[in-house]
Amino acid sequence: MADKPPSVSRPIVRRIGLTWSPLLLALSLLAIVSLSTACGGPATTSAAGSSSSPASSSAAEIEPLAATGDAAPTSSGSGGTLNVDLTEWGIKPDVPSIKAGTVQITATNKGAMEHEFVIIKTATAANALPMAADGSKVDEEAAGTSPGELEDIAAGQSKSGSFTLTPGHYALICNQPGHYKQGMATDFTVN
């Protein structure tokens, strides 16, 4: 009987004498993910700036995407609505940027500890802000200008407020003692 070519329905791996096991498949996927991260892929999953540890950034300055001065908003009226989730240890806005103007912000504490939500207009990366002398909090005055904050948000609770945001780069942080150092900071853009 003549040798038949391998069946089309047989996997190519079996034709060359290999078999896929669940372990081999898992190791292959792990290698692909590791390579994509090592080759410059994102280390975090949030396009809106999932928080990273303040000590992990080598870049202290952000190139402004828009005017960084306190110019009047590009449009009058509402800049929109921004919803932000606060957790241990992250700040996650529902959008990566928003239009300048009066912005209605709701911060929801989805964590187990009390948090606060501080908005700072600055050219400095959110994870590289200057610290207060005792090292437990950000020096808000040295970091930039703040259009406001939502204080003392208990676990499971939300607070809202209206803030006038002008175009530029902002750092959104929790400035409860120790929380910023744990990674509760993210960059945000107002167009």
Please report, for the domain that includes residue 148, its CATH number: 2.60.40.420
Mean pLDDT of all residues in 2-23: 49
CA 54 and chain centroid, separation: 12
Query: Residue 89, Cβ neighbours under 10 Å: how many?
Result: 19
- Looking at the structure, tell me whether residues 35 and 124 fall in a common domain: no
Q: Tell me: pLDDT of 169 over 50.
A: yes
5 found inside a domain: no
141 found inside a domain: yes
Number of domains present in the structure of the chain: 2
Domain span including residue 81: 54-190
pLDDT tens digit sequence for 44-65:
333 333 333 333 333 344 333 3
Percent of the chain with pLDDT over 70: 60
Report the C-alpha gap between 153 and 35 in whole angstroms. Answer: 40
- Looking at the structure, tell me whether residues 107 and 158 fall in a common domain: yes
- Looking at the structure, tell me whether residues 19 and 102 fall in a common domain: no
Contacting residues for 71 by C-beta, under 8 A, at least 6 apart: 166, 167
24 found inside a domain: yes
- Looking at the structure, tell me whether residues 84 and 158 fall in a common domain: yes
183 found inside a domain: yes
- Looking at the structure, tell me whether residues 148 and 59 fall in a common domain: yes
Where is average pLDDT lowest: 14-28, 57-71, 125-139, 159-173?
57-71
136 found inside a domain: yes
pLDDT at 78: 74
Q: Tell me: pLDDT of 181 over 50.
A: yes
